[in-house]
Amino acid sequence: MNRFRNMTLILVLILVTVGALFGVRQIEYKLDRTINEEHLRFTGAVTDAPPAMVFTTVALGSFRGLLADILWLRSESLKSKKNYFEMVQLARWITDLQPNYSGGTVYLAWNLAYNISVTSSDWEDRWYWVNEGLKLIRDKALIYNPDDPMLYRELSWIYLHKLGNLMDDAHLYYKNQMAVQMGNVLGRYLTDLKPLADAPVGKEEFMRIYPADHPLWEAVKKAGYKDYDQLAAKFREPVQAALPADLKIRSEYYNALDAHFRAELLRERFKLDPKRMVALDEKYGRMDWRVPESQAIYWAETGVEKSIANGRQPDVNCMRTVTHGLQAAFRSGRVLMVDNDARVFQAVPNLNLADSAYAAFEAAEDEFSQSGAGESFRSAKINYLKDSIPLIYIYGNRSKAQEFYEKLQEIDGPQRQRNLDDFVRNHFVEDVRDADVEKATSVVSGLIQRALWELLLGNREAAVYNESMARSIHQIYTQKNKDVRRNQLPEYNQIKYFVVSNMLRNLPEAAQRRLIEEIQAEQAESAAGEPGGNN
């Protein structure tokens, strides 16, 4: 009896053991699948952490996930207590501990850029948190995961939506700070990045072209700077990066140093490659790299390229950000005015991108024609045409506006309006009711610019019509949004001043004189017609 009971007990224990082993194997299988899907394997070292944390990480070995869990819990606890500053360092450590877990990094970055930033009433503090979110992906996670499209699309979306959109009351401050910082780095190369793209990359390559016995370094030492490193540090000292004023060297050496140091600073601070920036300018049209939309396009385009390089279809979300980024950059992708002291920022359409934005929508529609995404790109293309035609029209390119209007009819069928002029007029009447501040600024600026061109061409009546429409739209929009801080337009005369200044800079000298004369004549006529004026 006892023997039978023992045998039964052994058999039961064997069955329980087998069942337990089977259960463990199933759990292990699921864990391995999750690890492979999320790319969680990592054997590297944690950097920039306190010695105690580094020691603990090494000691724990494969149990570093436990330490990461503890840091996650600590991070959420700090968030609930609104104790935010420690969270930046925690986010960096979590990324170091789980560097291949892109989803976790994206969550932490969004937490910093969105959830935490809006708890600050001070715009400078908000800008700090948004930057920390950007840097967590751009400066940290992409080092570990250079081929992960998810990181590229999330990074580009923060640029496009958080900085480029206007949902945050501090959006103009973000744009101002970004424009000023990029302008400080790019300097005189704002409109021509090719010298930066052609400059040698890194100290080693520069010293190979200009070795220690090169005449350039004799001039550098005469100015009191002993070597490359000291001169590079001096270049970075001022807010407006620049070579020291007491450096008297031949212009070709000065230009070589200036372009090289600026290209290095661009790679260091913004992780932007000047060669890629030039390539994107050639592909899509000259972009203004001071606006967030341009950098959104840069990172989303990189995500598309990475997904293709890995033998997959282009990442659809990266493609969406490229197309939406081009549309947004077309609408308000060129800086009209920026003033750091006054914290002023105003952008106008970048008409260089009109055709490439349309082409990007078409390419995306074709690429995803076999899925539902293709139809969404088609709808976005139609909306882009409807939005772009009036802007192209008021900025003086009637033939391009007519071309797009005909494309719209071909794709979307006959429009309610009989012709282009009626379409544009109706668009203004409807659009000003719901326009955001960027679109309203673009419309007002475009009408003013159109009026100035009409003045130059001697069409005084058309000039008066366009400016009166600009004033009317400005007045209607200002009145409607007087209580919405983030949607407040600059004063009409301020917008006109910057439009006139920008236009004068780009006109030949003879045309400049003529435009100034026409404006002065118009002002004299206006003054004479006012009560108490000289008739």
Domain boundary among 250, 270, 290: 270
pLDDT at 62: 62
Tell me how far apart the alpha carbons of residues 421 and 402 are, in angstroms, rounded to a whole number: 9
pLDDT at 298: 98
Q: Amino acid identity, residue 469?
A: M
Give the three-class secondary structure for 346.
Answer: strand
Angle, helices 509-529/492-505, rounded to nearest 10 degrees: 150
Tell me how far apart the alpha carbons of residues 183 and 451 are, in angstroms, rounded to a whole number: 30
pLDDT at 80: 72
pLDDT at 49: 52
Task: Dig out the tokens for 310 from the structure.
Answer: 């890995």
Based on the fold, state whether residues 60 and 158 are members of the same structural domain. yes
Sign of CA dihedral 98, 102, 108, 109: positive
Tell me how far apart the alpha carbons of residues 325 and 313 are, in angstroms, rounded to a whole number: 20
Task: Dig out the tokens for 72 from the structure.
Answer: 């996650």
The residues, any chain, with a CB within 8 Å of residue 367's CB and separated by 6 or more, are 313, 314, 319, 374
Tell me how far apart the alpha carbons of residues 102 and 142 are, in angstroms, rounded to a whole number: 9
Residue matched to tokens 């958080």: 162
Residue 136 resides in a domain: yes
Based on the fold, state whether residues 66 and 157 are members of the same structural domain. yes
Based on the fold, state whether residues 118 and 169 are members of the same structural domain. yes
Domain boundary among 182, 217, 232: 182
Query: DSSP letters along 494-534, please?
Result: HHHHHHHHHHHHTS-HHHHHHHHHHHHHHHHHHHHHSTTS-
Structural domains in the chain (count): 3
Residue 403 resides in a domain: no
pLDDT at 535: 37
Based on the fold, state whether residues 72 and 104 are members of the same structural domain. yes
Based on the fold, state whether residues 72 and 163 are members of the same structural domain. yes
Based on the fold, state whether residues 207 and 174 are members of the same structural domain. no
pLDDT at 363: 94
Q: What is the 3-state secondary structure (H, E, C) of 438-475?
A: HHHHHHHHHHHHHHHHHHHCCCHHHHHHHHHHHHHHHH
pLDDT at 20: 82
Based on the fold, state whether residues 224 and 130 are members of the same structural domain. no
Q: CB burial class (10 A; 0-12, 13-18, 19+) of residue 201?
A: middle
Based on the fold, state whether residues 75 and 178 are members of the same structural domain. yes
Q: What is the mean pLDDT of each successive set of 10 residues along the chain, which is 535 residues long?
A: 72 80 76 64 52 56 69 76 71 74 84 87 92 92 89 96 89 93 93 95 94 89 88 85 83 90 95 97 96 97 91 90 96 84 79 95 92 90 93 84 93 84 78 73 84 79 80 84 78 89 83 84 69 44
Element (H, E) at 345: strand 344-348
Measured CA distances, 447 to 246, 348, 437, 505 (Å):
46, 11, 15, 18
Residue 225 resides in a domain: yes
Residue 94 resides in a domain: yes
Tell me how far apart the alpha carbons of residues 45 and 43 are, in angstroms, rounded to a whole number: 7
Q: Is the Cβ–Cβ distance between 102 and 39 less than 8 Å?
A: yes
Task: Residue 213: give the domain boundaries.
Answer: 192-270
Based on the fold, state whether residues 78 and 153 are members of the same structural domain. yes
- Computed over its alpha carbons, how large is the radius of gyration of the chain? 29
Residue 472 resides in a domain: yes
Based on the fold, state whether residues 95 and 162 are members of the same structural domain. yes
pLDDT at 507: 79
What global pTM score does this model have? 0.77
Picking from 443, 441, 437, the residue whose alpha carbon sits closest to that of residue 488 is 437
- 348 forms beta bridges with 334
Q: Is the Cβ–Cβ distance between 168 and 133 less than 8 Å?
A: no
Residue 59 resides in a domain: yes
338: phi then psi, degrees, rounded to nearest 5: -150, 130
Give the three-class secondary structure for 307.
Answer: helix
Task: Dig out the tokens for 74 from the structure.
Answer: 């600590």
Tell me how far apart the alpha carbons of residues 306 and 274 are, in angstroms, rounded to a whole number: 18
Domain boundary among 270, 289, 316: 270
The residues, any chain, with a CB within 8 Å of residue 535's CB and separated by 6 or more, are 528, 529
Measured CA distances, 343 to 136, 172, 495 (Å):
26, 8, 15
pLDDT at 347: 84
Q: CA dihedral in degrees (87, 91, 97, 102; nearest 10)?
A: 150
Tell me how far apart the alpha carbons of residues 307 and 313 are, in angstroms, rounded to a whole number: 7
pLDDT at 242: 86
